[in-house]
Amino acid sequence: MKLDNENAFGMIGLGTMGSNLLQNIADKGYHCAGYDNSTDKVESLNNLKRDTIQGFSDLKAFARSLKSPRIVMMLVPAGKIVDDVIDELLQVLDLGDIIIDGGNSHFTDTERRNLALKDKGYHFIGMGVSGGEEGARKGPSMMPGGDKKAYEIVAPILSKVAAHVNGDATVSYMGERSAGHFVKMVHNGIEYALMQLISETYEILKNGLKYSDVEIHDVFKKWNEGRLQSYLLDITRDIFAYKLEGKTDALVNDISDQAKAKGTGKWTSQAAMDLNCPIPTIDISVSMRDLSHYKELRVKASKMYPNNNLQYDAKAEDYIDVLEQAFYFSMVSAYAQGMHLLFKANEEFKYDLNLDLIAKIWRGGCIIRSAFLEDIFTAYQKEAKLEHLFLDDSIHNNLTKNIAGIRTIVSDAVLQGIAIPAFSTSLSYFDNFRCASMPTNLIQAQRDYFGAHTYELIGKQGVFHTIWEIENKVE
């Protein structure tokens, strides 16, 4: 039995993520303690029979087993339960101890907790963790923010347990207060967009081009070996090869089309709207998950409005190349919108974010890791204050080469009645982004007409209002 004050790291919440991350930390040579109010989970941890891991059902005993300053990480569901756990911890911790929230907490909650715990004399880190079950066990990407001095204490442990790319650990200090959870929230928003784009690609392949599961698998396999290489394409390829014993079709065909969500995509959209920062590909991806829930309505509508237009005759290999161009274009747009949101948040919240550092730690361990993140990292290394990825010379050149592809795919899908909202929105976002004169001058005139909201004139200082009513107008 280990003596009190021997464990270097404590974990509260011994679910899949907490247990796996604790084992990862122990693998790196640290003695760890785990606590859960579920005796079954504590027993499962102790049944691993590892000398460097000790499970507790008693919170006081758990706290006594930790070295000072105590490092306690929570991996519990976001919301009130986090506050409840913190309140319990404050009964057994000492001033100067470190509390880490490693869950998907809303950044505004993290902002509040950071200030409250600082006032009480405790160190607090809000840390996004990405990589799922496998990442927790083998090396996640981690986005800590908040108390920088506390991060410096835990950094040696986190650096060892993180994934590594080109010798660099996929963890780094993100910035002040709630920066870590804001970055993780945007990560998840980008994740929503990429998953929606992949699902729309699947729709074109299956219902447009009538590809079999094997052919769809082969397309994703080929793409994953090129510039689109990513974790999400990697697992998508595997999904189309997975069959239950005795079945001829891939399991994915038997899965309900009502997609679940935990809210982080919605939070991203809400934060972007508050910051007046457009991220339409992420927004529409959130909306499409919501629409998927209305199964009964969709079934009724499908009978009233059947699609009899499907006449794709472009099964040739060159059309798949065009589809690859469209996916690349839209993928770039999704990342660019997310990074632009981070840029705007940095201005508003004074986080002191380094966008190149964020791209760097996303290259490994996390769900949105991809080959393209190297291009993003390079862009921000070249120009740290780059406001938007579309303005980078290298990305501009690559994006331009794929415009014809995205236009072909979107126009063909519209003619065939296939819904590809993320592809379409990515293109419309680009076309408006590159528009020096949008038609929104008319909106300003309308607002002034019905509400006297005023407007500004081109090349003339001041704010103006017009009495737009015309006598004897022709209706």
Catalytic sites, residue numbers: 184, 191
CB 368 within 8 A of CB 185: no
Question: In sequence order, what are the residues at sequence separation of 6 or more whose Cβ sits closer than 8 angstroms to the Cβ of residue 474?
Answer: none
Q: Residue 255 burial (CB < 10 Å; 0-12/13-18/19+)?
A: exposed
CB 166 within 8 A of CB 303: no
Tokens of 285: 């991806």
Phi, psi of 155 (to 5 degrees): -55, -40
Place of tokens 């190297």: 374
Residue 308 DSSP SS3: coil
Tokens of 206: 């299956």
Nearest-angstrom CA–CA distance, 425 and 280:
6
CB 182 within 8 A of CB 212: no
Nearest-angstrom CA–CA distance, 356 and 168:
13
CB 131 within 8 A of CB 141: yes
Positive or negative torsion for Cα 180, 151, 71, 90: negative
Q: Which of 332, 341, 334 is nearest to 273 (CA)?
A: 341
Nearest-angstrom CA–CA distance, 92 and 63:
6
Residue 129 DSSP SS3: strand
Q: Which of 190, 223, 227 is nearest to 366 (CA)?
A: 190
What are the start-end ranges of the H helices in 350-433?
355-361, 372-382, 393-400, 403-416, 421-433
The 10 Å Cβ neighbour count of residue 379 is: 22
Tokens of 417: 């009645």
Burial 85-102 (b: 16+ CB within 10 A, else e): bbeebbebbeeebbbbbb
CB 391 within 8 A of CB 380: no
